[in-house]
Amino acid sequence: MSRNSRYDILFEPVPIGPVTAPNRFYQTPHATGMGNARPNAGRALRAMKAEGGWGVVCTEYCSIHPSSDETPYAFLSLWDDADADQLAQTAAAIHAHGALVGIELWHGGYHSNNRGTREIALAPSAGSSKYFGPNQVRAMDLDDIAAFRRWHRDAALRARDAGFDIVYVYAGHDYLPFQFLSPLANQRRDAYGGSLENRARLLRELTEDTREAVGESCAVAVRLAIDELHGESGVSRDGDGRRVIEYLGELPDLWDIALGGFLGNDSCSSRFSAEGFQERFAAGIKDLTSKPVVSVGRFTSPDTMVAQIRRGVQDFIGAARPSIADPFLPRKIDQGREDEIRECIGCNICRAANNEASPLRCTQNPTIGEEWRRGWHPETIPPARDRRSFLVVGGGPAGLEASLALAGRGHRVTLAEAGAELGGRLLAESSLPGLAQWIRVRDYRAQRLAQMGNVEIYLDSELGAADLREFGADAVVLATGSRWRRDGQGATVRWPLAIDPDARVLTPDDLFAGQDPGGDVLIYDDEHYFMAGALAERLLRDGRRVRLFTPATMISAWTEMTDEQAFIQRRLLELGIDARFGRQLKRIDPGRIVSECVYTGAEQCDDFSSLLLVTGREPVDALFHDLDAAATRIGDCLVPSSIADAVYAGHRFAREFGEDPATLAPRRERVPLQPAIAEAGS
């Protein structure tokens, strides 16, 4: 297959100062959860992007000094030559596939907790750290600013010597250079505070320093938070953000336009944003500078990408999450296989990994983060040595992924789904407000399976144990999913509640099956992910009165990990939800609940018309227990979790089936032991 000519513009080379990108696909800096602790895994992940056709591949944030430390979160560093030697291997791995490699030099300022280094945190002005706790930050004096410029210059030189092509000056996401820019963070009264020219002085100096140090061989990029979304009191797109670019427009070789403050604004989930949602911030920047511009926007459609370039919004297609969901997105467009792109669904499970200080994971791409650890490739899978016949029961995320990967290995696969269409839990969850993009998990796999000659799919096929025995497959895989619990057991209440059988108690499954909850609805959330909040939104939009009780201190508390919680709570409060926090269910009577304060144990009673329990799920595994033959449970059928975990479980099963267990242990990053240091006083 050959490329569609209307996408040719995406594959034009673009000069960036002294270097030239081979195409317009630009993987902007993004976290991986690998950092210094997992250099092999990080290197393999980035190299896979280059192999997949990304013309520019950037690192995650790279600390320039021990006073910029975010332990326990993983980050890179360029504190010394040993760091540079390690990063040189990443640069070489990316170069091997013909891509440019960029590095994002970083100082967190008051975002740096320095728990690992125990250095004093620095910021433009004294005050509290961004982390809750007793630690404060010290206002930088002129000597500190001079030292900071020296640290940045030294790191740029190390980056150049390590083989990097693009060196970033990072004034985004509320980190130190941006803190100097923002009047909300900078209360200085010297040459670095007050007027915009003074507040932008450090950014200008850093950019000039970097150009002087490495500009002959490296491009210098400025990543600027064009708007911190605090109105005209802070940096705004039509205020100081625009004026900064007018002031410094020709100084860097590239402008990387981002949003400031809360990372959820820049990596906004699909629940609260559409593809290309940042265009309103990036539009018009090219009128202010002759230098190339890049911005992100969760781009997955090549037609949208082309439109961005032709309309002059930007020169590159910036991407973080789409490059995670499909590292081979550019290659597929180039080869005329755009219908095979694993489109990012914007669920932000990748952001959750970062916020949990864990390695990267993705709902659409189960191989991300496993490139080195398990040797997994997103586009190739080793053929099976002994080809078998499989019966996969259940067409949800785990069953679909297992079927696709098993068929990719050459096995014969029969997929039996009890319902009228494939998708399992995805059918219900993608029907919730803002979650329509989640059906892409089903669509990608169903489309691929339909093209495979060794796969048969049967719908409306509910199978019993006798059917499975009669079928005679070499192996049976049960991916029959899970159901929502009716006993109230959840994250806080670890035992079944006392529930009167006459109480009108519903679960999400009842609502998805079309049951009318009646008038007013009381939702009890002890699961804390998206479900309770999304159902509350649906009910509120239907005009119902909704009360939400939760043992947590906020609505949908775990969505802090996906950077969505503030958006969810704001939307539900605007829609009129009545939320009660710190309340744990104790008993459910007809038309009445008894709850207690999670702190004091004080009880209270509340009436309800319908009670919706969103507490936890249990496997649908009766078929497994009815069988007297061997079968394997995967995904929610084994243990309910996220869609990402279900997809991973299906993929891992297929990869590992029939393989020698001794060869399957994942590799671990091991730090060589150093000579012991004599104990103090010895």
Catalytic positions: 175
And the tokens for 143? 């000597």
Rounded Cα distance, 109 and 130, in Å: 9
Order of all β-strands in the sheet with 127-128: 122-123, 136-139, 127-128
| Cβ contact 591:597 at 8 Å | no
Grouping H, G, I as helix, E, B as strand and the rest as coil, residue 538 is helix
Q: Who's near 262: CB < 8 A, 6+ residues apart? A: 229, 563, 566
Rounded Cα distance, 645 and 150, in Å: 45
Which amino acid is it at 397?
A: P
Give φ, ψ of 588 to 5 degrees: -125, 115
Please give the DSSP secondary-structure letter assigned to residue 255. E
CA nearest neighbour of 356 among 367, 343, 369:
369
CA distances (Å), 329 to each of 321, 332, 397, 552, in order? Answer: 11, 5, 21, 40
Rounded Cα distance, 480 and 476, in Å: 12
Rounded Cα distance, 242 and 235, in Å: 9
By DSSP bridging, strand 136-139 and strand 127-128 are antiparallel
Q: Who's near 26: CB < 8 A, 6+ residues apart? A: 54, 55, 56, 58, 294, 316, 317, 318, 319
| Cβ contact 365:615 at 8 Å | no
And the tokens for 163? 């083989």
CA distances (Å), 57 to each of 23, 43, 54, 100, in order? Answer: 12, 11, 6, 6
CA nearest neighbour of 524 among 506, 512, 538:
506
What end-to-end distance do the CA atoms of the chain give, in Å? Answer: 72
And the tokens for 437? 């993009």
Rounded Cα distance, 275 and 137, in Å: 38
Grouping H, G, I as helix, E, B as strand and the rest as coil, residue 594 is strand
Tokens 């919004």 belong to: 313
| Cβ contact 259:229 at 8 Å | yes
By DSSP bridging, strand 617-619 and strand 482-484 are antiparallel
- Cα torsion for 88, 173, 568, 321, to the nearest 10°? -30
Give φ, ψ of 381 to 5 degrees: -140, 135
Q: Who's near 435: CB < 8 A, 6+ residues apart? A: 270, 271, 429, 530, 534
Which residues is 490 bridged to in the sheet? Answer: none
Q: Who's near 179: CB < 8 A, 6+ residues apart? A: 109, 110, 123, 124, 185, 186
CA nearest neighbour of 541 among 549, 551, 533, 529:
533
Rounded Cα distance, 349 and 438, in Å: 12
Please give the DSSP secondary-structure letter assigned to residue 460. S
| Cβ contact 359:409 at 8 Å | no
Grouping H, G, I as helix, E, B as strand and the rest as coil, residue 69 is coil
